[in-house]
Structure 1
Amino acid sequence: MTEVSCRDPNLVMRLARLGSIHQSRLSFMRILTRRMAREGWRFEQTAFEINDQGVGHAVYTAHGPERAYSLIAYAHDLPAEKRSDRVIAEAWDATFTLFDGIPTGADIERLSQNIPVQEAGRVKGTELSVSRANRSVRLWEHVVSKLAAGEQPDAAQIDAVGYLMRTTAVYGSGKLGAADREMIADRPEFRVPFQVEMLSVYLTRWFVRDLVQYMADTRAKALGASAAKLDPDLARSMGIGNSTGLGMAPFLLNHPVLFSNWVQVRETALQRVRGVASATADEIAVFNDIFARNKQSVANWHSEHPVQLEKLAALQADVDLISAKLEDEGLAQSSPWESLYQWSTQSLTVEGQEWLVSLMLEPYGDLVDDLADEMSADNTATFRIAGAMTVARLREVLQDVYGWALKTDWSLAANKARAWYVSEEKLEPRLGERFEEPIEEYEQPLAPGRDATQLFAALAHWPEETPVAEFLLRHPEHRHSVRRAQIANRAPYAEIRDNTISEDVLPIDMLRCKLAFFGAMHFDPRSDRWVRICMYGNAPYPEELSTRDGDFWVYPDAQSVAKEG
């Protein structure tokens, strides 16, 4: 191994780079499927009580080494006029909860009065998540009608959408009375963040496949015929869609320690791989295989949003540059990954650089996968302000973490054009125009750079050896900024080093960053504030986990890539 440092937070934590992160082997979906395959989880459908109108419930149970978890799915006959992906919707095509253990009939009955109404209902500690989903209406009808007619659905139509249902919310961590994370965080299978939510979505996909087949069978039976069975390859190509809006964006700002741990793990993994002195033939073969498959994945990525179209064009050009580089030089030289990384910083766009970073980790599961257990966080201690810190030291921290902000002219309207607030109706985050809407008095503390600059100015005339506690007794309005600065001093990747209220801020950069850590691909922004993605596309279904790859499923199948080539 050669000595390599982790990348500077001032480089990594810019919004343009965070908004260019790609899924990797340290993404939450892949961590889960890898674990389930390795540990030999067993799955069973224990109930499927759905009537001919597609209304009823089903239960799917996952048996891990020590515990079982059950997805309870409620299917509804939703009128078209009530179908909406907006958070203010009050009815959905299907609603779900992930139950801790195996539910009794009484549990299913109790939850049938609460899960279908979502926010209007209440659950308890035996429920780990609450979620809902809507059909992709045109593709759903296409698949049902084709199967009912004894034919397979059109692969091109499936590819164009990618999913039969899309979730509009997957709630965990105490939402609506569900179990708090602290109740389950010590379980090995849930030590990594968001494993409850990822398991819920994984089992939801299984239910959706079964439901569409059942509806096709029912329609064919009514005609005195038999439906075709959905081709396994077509079924596998479909994931679960997701519409993610502005409400998710503040998460990264509101969970600085957790966010820092995610980025720290990714950066430590990159550091380890860059330090590899030489690559073995097997490691090079894995990289070349995944490179070819990921190259095809980029070619399959479509969007109509101008920002994403520009990034896609740049990424495709970058992929060609990497191909040429590999053909010319290969990876047999000493420190191959460090050499390739350093070349990328001079030759590729930020999008291409981060795509390559994720790719470089793929051959090195033995080297980096253990880092996954370091991605969670206990925020309790971080909320205690260290009152003994001196004013001089606090100034140093502010200059280090918020240097970019101290150089920003905050008197310019363009630099503070936006304001984050919470809507009164749905208690959801919103981003408004500061100088066009009466929202400033409701502004949330989601502009750390501006607030840190105000703190720095307030410290100007305080003696250097003064304890921070003494300063805060006089200026309690700066407590949140002092706390954030002290957190960033201990957690180097805690703070986004960019202006989150400027006129040109793109919230989708924050959305994409979080979703990439989930494991999402093929981001399709519909505006600068919401994005559609697909989860678990091409993943093995539960009954296939023992026979198909539980890790590299995110990339197109090697055989299909060979045919394309």
Structure 2
Amino acid sequence: MIMSLIDEKTRFELRSPSAVLCGSDMNGAWGTRHSFARTLLRRAASHHWTVSKNRLELDELGRGTVVFTVDVEGHELKFIAFCQALEESERTDRVIASAWDVTAALLEGELTPERETELRRNVTVQEQGRTDPETVIMTRANRSARFFDYVSDCLAAGTQPDVATIGPSPYLIRSTAFYGNGKFGLKELSAFPAGHPLAVPYRSQMLTAWLMRELSMDLVEHVARAKAHAAGTVAVPLDAAWGRYFGLGNATGLGMVPFLVNHPGYLDAWCRLRELPLAAGLAADYAPEHPDLARIAELLERADQHLAEKADLKTVPFLSTSSIRPQLGQLLRELQDFRTSGGTAEPVLARLHEHAAGLSPEARGLFASIVIELRSDFDAEADALLTVAAPTAFNPAMRCDELSALLTQNYAWTQSYDFTAADCSSYYWYTSADSEEPRREQRSKLAQGTVEHCTDVARRVNALAGDLGGFSAEASVAEFLLAHPNHRFAAERIQQTRGYQYGDLQDNLVDGKFLPLSTQRFQLATYGMNNFSPQSTDWVRVTLFSGAPRVAEVMSGQDDDDWLFPLAPEGESK
């Protein structure tokens, strides 16, 4: 039982915070069976969620309104999308965009004509609009200039797309935001009663993303039929393999990094979501003939094929797929040698994991995902792990020696930095008034009056340690802060994270060498995204739900929850 993994976690040797929370390890993050996208569809299939496509009122260009009704364990939801066809020059993935090909919302309650009018007026302008409190999620997306028209042309001509033309990032539309939890008037997550299937953090966003991905294929097939009618041909729908392979495109930037800094409880939960089942898997003894080892070998071979198909994916500064593949080959050969050895049972996966860690972060992270894939006993409890309690209130009455002990216990790593060196504080983080997004900039350009984000946890704790060491041990933290008010954030942070094993990124985020992509990759892999393709040191393109079942498959019970390392459809267009 997985509850024993959580309640008796001391039975297993979890990886240390210094190993888990460093940027180099996060560079190798891969999705797992407990990533949010996987858990959503597993819940949908096991609890028989249904999706009815009530309205598909679109013209020949795919402009119009779409409404789906979703039955989520007796709770009825509506997904409404307002569709248009922008000129390519009007499309941008930036937050400051003012128009999108698709704007949509997930909502509870009745969709009356009056409510639809209000939604159309507000959802279509996104951040400039406001919703009613029974609207759960608001989102938007743009058609892919490379793929949408190409795929609709193929289907209109009666053929399927060509794998080589689509390339390593398969999607028809790309999303740029999934707003929820009270923003712009949306429903608060806390407003869902305990036990409600959407009371789990990020489940509403994942459901909306899955429906957007479904809509993208309905749109492209609709446009293809219109093209075929005009040309006198007969259109075909996407076949099942392509329907699974296409995901939802996405791109994300620096804004994700301050989120994890500001929510240490989520960071801890997301790390434990991986580390607990990984530790349990690595601790298990396996005889050479155990069937789980055959499954491990199968997944290593599939991962190798998946990476081979991604050879053209831009991955720098992450390791290239062509570099990871030989490393997987080493692991597979070592595993096969053990399977044919005729030896006794041993924790062979721990040995392989240690070998992978010595090869690269990418090989280690990929192998860890394969180990976790076998831990179906964690599925039922993964949701509970994600419900994070509010942090404890700041306690100014704490003695300074107690605060100092917590600092030494959890933040000794901050003392390794020399913040008198300019390179250690060469950047600062802020919110850009022009782009309305978090940004980082060289500290030499810091303008007077700029509000700096508290992303420099290491620097602040380091500075607190210096002053705390010269203060009376018996004094209260309140007395210390009266003398040193600039240390309030650091003192509160040390208290706030004391109950977490993985509460803070063990990196200096204002260092010139800090790579934001590392943190972004960890977060995106936790969501369930893949095809990581950095476009700079600060933003990365990804794909969500590639390989996932479509609506009809989930409702028919065909989902076997086996879409780690999705593979491209075989063959070319006929």
Which of 209, 213, 237 is the matching residue for 2:217?
209
Which of 340, 346, 352 is the matching residue for 1:340?
352
Corresponding residue number in structure 2 for 1:186: 194
Distance 1:5 1:306 in 2: 33
2:48 maps to 1:13: no
Whether the 8 Å CA contact 1:173–1:180 is kept in 2: the answer is yes
Distance 1:187 1:157 in 2: 45
Greater shift in the superposed pair: 202-211 or 71-80: 71-80
2:70 maps to 1:62: yes
Greater shift in the superposed pair: 350-359 or 121-130: 350-359
Distance 2:127 2:333 in 1: 53
Distance 1:197 1:108 in 2: 21
Distance 1:550 1:188 in 2: 24
Whether the 8 Å CA contact 2:245–2:568 is kept in 1: the answer is no
2:55 counterpart SS class:
strand
2:518 maps to 1:483: no
Corresponding residue number in structure 2 for 1:493: 502
Whether the 8 Å CA contact 2:399–2:473 is kept in 1: the answer is yes
For residues 507 and 557 of structure 1, do their structure 2 counterparts lie closer, same or farther at Cα, with a shift above 3 Å needed? closer
Whether the 8 Å CA contact 1:536–1:554 is kept in 2: the answer is no
Describe the superposition over 1:350-388 as per-residue Cα deviations: whole angstroms up to 9, x where unpaired: 221122111111112024652332122122x43x11223
Corresponding residue number in structure 1 for 2:328: 319
Corresponding residue number in structure 1 for 2:381: 370
Shift of 1:159: 3.5
Whether the 8 Å CA contact 2:428–2:510 is kept in 1: the answer is yes
Whether the 8 Å CA contact 1:93–1:135 is kept in 2: the answer is yes
Whether the 8 Å CA contact 1:131–1:167 is kept in 2: the answer is yes
Corresponding residue number in structure 1 for 2:529: 520
Corresponding residue number in structure 1 for 2:426: 417
Whether the 8 Å CA contact 2:274–2:372 is kept in 1: the answer is no
Corresponding residue number in structure 2 for 1:443: 452
Q: Which amino acid aligns with 2:429?
A: W
For residues 486 and 550 of structure 1, do their structure 2 counterparts lie closer, same or farther at Cα, with a shift above 3 Å needed? farther
Shift of 1:404: 2.4
For residues 415 and 312 of structure 1, do their structure 2 counterparts lie closer, same or farther at Cα, with a shift above 3 Å needed? farther
Q: How does 1:104-115 map to 2 (within 5 A)?
A: 104-115=112-123
Shift of 1:4: 2.8
Distance 1:107 1:440 in 2: 43
Whether the 8 Å CA contact 2:394–2:496 is kept in 1: the answer is no
Whether the 8 Å CA contact 1:303–1:525 is kept in 2: the answer is no
For residues 125 and 240 of structure 1, do their structure 2 counterparts lie closer, same or farther at Cα, with a shift above 3 Å needed? same
1:553 counterpart SS class:
coil
Show structure 2 runs of 5+ residues with no match: none
Which of 507, 511, 527 is the matching residue for 2:520?
511
Corresponding residue number in structure 2 for 1:552: 562
TM-score by length of 2: 0.92
2:490 counterpart SS class:
helix
Shift of 1:109: 1.9
Shift of 1:144: 1.5
Corresponding residue number in structure 2 for 1:454: 463
Which of 477, 480, 499 is the matching residue for 1:471?
480
For these two proteins, the number of residue pairs brought into alignment is: 557
Distance 1:374 1:552 in 2: 23
Whether the 8 Å CA contact 1:387–1:468 is kept in 2: the answer is yes
Whether the 8 Å CA contact 1:265–1:372 is kept in 2: the answer is no
1:107 counterpart SS class:
helix
Q: Which amino acid aligns with 2:559?
A: D
For residues 115 and 152 of structure 1, do their structure 2 counterparts lie closer, same or farther at Cα, with a shift above 3 Å needed? same
Q: CA RMSD in A?
A: 2.3
Greater shift in the superposed pair: 178-187 or 280-289: 280-289
2:265 maps to 1:257: yes
2:251 counterpart SS class:
strand
For residues 191 and 278 of structure 1, do their structure 2 counterparts lie closer, same or farther at Cα, with a shift above 3 Å needed? farther
Whether the 8 Å CA contact 2:277–2:375 is kept in 1: the answer is no
Distance 1:164 1:252 in 2: 30
Distance 2:421 2:193 in 1: 45
Which of 409, 412, 434 is the matching residue for 1:403?
412
Corresponding residue number in structure 2 for 1:360: 371
1:228 counterpart SS class:
coil
Distance 2:521 2:354 in 1: 25
Identity %: 31
Describe the superposition over 1:234-258 as per-residue Cα deviations: whole angstroms up to 9, x where unpaired: 2221110001111222111111111
Distance 1:38 1:354 in 2: 28
2:56 maps to 1:44: no
2:99 maps to 1:87: no
For residues 369 and 295 of structure 1, do their structure 2 counterparts lie closer, same or farther at Cα, with a shift above 3 Å needed? farther
For residues 338 and 185 of structure 1, do their structure 2 counterparts lie closer, same or farther at Cα, with a shift above 3 Å needed? farther
For residues 441 and 338 of structure 1, do their structure 2 counterparts lie closer, same or farther at Cα, with a shift above 3 Å needed? same
Corresponding residue number in structure 2 for 1:306: 316
Greater shift in the superposed pair: 183-192 or 194-203: 183-192
Distance 1:378 1:341 in 2: 32
Greater shift in the superposed pair: 226-235 or 271-280: 271-280
TM-score by length of 1: 0.93
Greater shift in the superposed pair: 248-257 or 316-325: 316-325
1:59 counterpart SS class:
strand
Corresponding residue number in structure 1 for 2:443: 434
Distance 1:500 1:540 in 2: 38
Whether the 8 Å CA contact 2:96–2:436 is kept in 1: the answer is no
Which of 219, 237, 240 is the matching residue for 1:229?
237
Greater shift in the superposed pair: 444-453 or 213-222: 213-222
Corresponding residue number in structure 2 for 1:128: 136
For residues 439 and 307 of structure 1, do their structure 2 counterparts lie closer, same or farther at Cα, with a shift above 3 Å needed? farther
Greater shift in the superposed pair: 189-198 or 328-337: 328-337
Greater shift in the superposed pair: 45-54 or 237-246: 45-54
